A and B are shown apart, each in its own frame.
Chain A
Amino acid sequence: MTEPVPRPTAAALALSFLGIALASFGGGLSAAAQRELVERRRWLDRDEFLSALTLCRMLPGPNQVNMAVYVGARYGRLRGALASVAGLVLVPTAILLGLGAAYFHYRHLPALDAALRGAVAAAAGMTLAMGVKVATPLIRQPAGIALAVATFVAVHLLRWPLVPVVAVLGPLGMLWAWSRANDAEGAE
């Protein structure tokens, strides 16, 4: 195994992920992460980045945070993982808490109230757009659609607690995907 670049220090990992955090808005693992990790630092090649991204998406937790754990663990074990995650979340948390404190101080101002009305409509739209993106590959897969609808109905309409709902429907989904993989293999 050849390492493409010298092993980064914990500080270098933290700084890199701080940069990624400050360059990304609206959630999700941004293009900024790929630019920094693959093109600029060369800590991951493109294939490994995509493979790691898959792992980040299939495990619980925010994709960006999971990617920080992956890269940190690869180059610095536990210490590297902690440094990367700290770099990613500490400054943004401080910024967000500052914004939150300002919000509670100024929220009675009519202008802020009006601007937030618009911002909330956009935030809901950003979340819906993410839903549409994840849903697109499910079109023409009746069982997948049924599972998505069941999850939605259980959580939103019936207001069942989310943890048990996911604990039951998640494995059902995996069972479905497992049998589909079998069918695909049989057809080949």
Chain B
Amino acid sequence: MSGRPLARLTIVFGSLSLVSFGGGNTVVPAMHREAVLGEHWLTDRQFADLFALAQAAPGPSSLFVSLIGYTAAGITGAMVATLAMLGPSCAVMYGACRGWERLRATRWRTAIERGLAPVTVGLVFASALTITRAADHGAAGYLLTAIVVLVLLRTSVSPLVVMAAAAACGLLGIV
């Protein structure tokens, strides 16, 4: 296995790790740019499919990075990508645990907490549109996406049930 993809995976996911405020799903546009547009490790459709797999599978959906690593450099790539994505943010979290209680209820804490919310909102919407665009689905696909949003916001149906129902819609040829 050549070292180049491993180096790319380390640099790209290692730096994304430190800006993944709101979780791994906020940095999907950057992953798409690197893996699909830049390095051609996978196609648009495969990127969207694997994202859906990661959402449906148990565990943190950020483990999507392991699949991107896998397409770049097999199992080694999967491990390198996952470590690069989780390592730096875990290190920051570990360091912060100690000072956290002291920071309780100070204005600093409120500022950090609330100030990042707008940026997270922008990133999450960009991520959702990256997936939609990569999937390149028709009007029925967009309609299904809209229905899923409404169901998740208005009801307490489990995301797994929603995912299964959507897959069934696909099987029946509706989307």
Contacts and interface: CB of A to CB of B under 8 A. Distances in A.
B58 A95 contact: yes
Contacts of B66: 93, 96-97, 100
Contact of A128 (B94, B101, B125): B125
A65 to B, nearest CB: 6
Contact of A103 (B21, B49, B122, B124): B49
A169 B58 contact: no
Interface size class of A (residues with CB under 8 A): 35 or more
Count chain B CB atoms within 10 A of each CB in A70, A101, A121 and give the residue with the most: A121
Interface string B98-129: 00110010010111111111111111111111
Nearest to A164: B19
B124 to A, nearest CB: 4
B133 to A, nearest CB: 9
A174 to B, nearest CB: 3
Contacts, number: 377
Main secondary structure of the interface of B (DSSP, over half): helix
Given A93-B78, A176-B115, A59 B89 contact: yes
Contacts of A177: 110-115
A4 interface: no
Nearest to A156: B126
A163 B125 contact: no
Interface of A: 21-28, 51-52, 54-66, 69-70, 73-74, 78, 81, 85, 88-89, 91-93, 95-97, 99-101, 103, 107, 111, 114-135, 137-138, 144-156, 159, 161-163, 166-167, 169-178, 180-182, 185
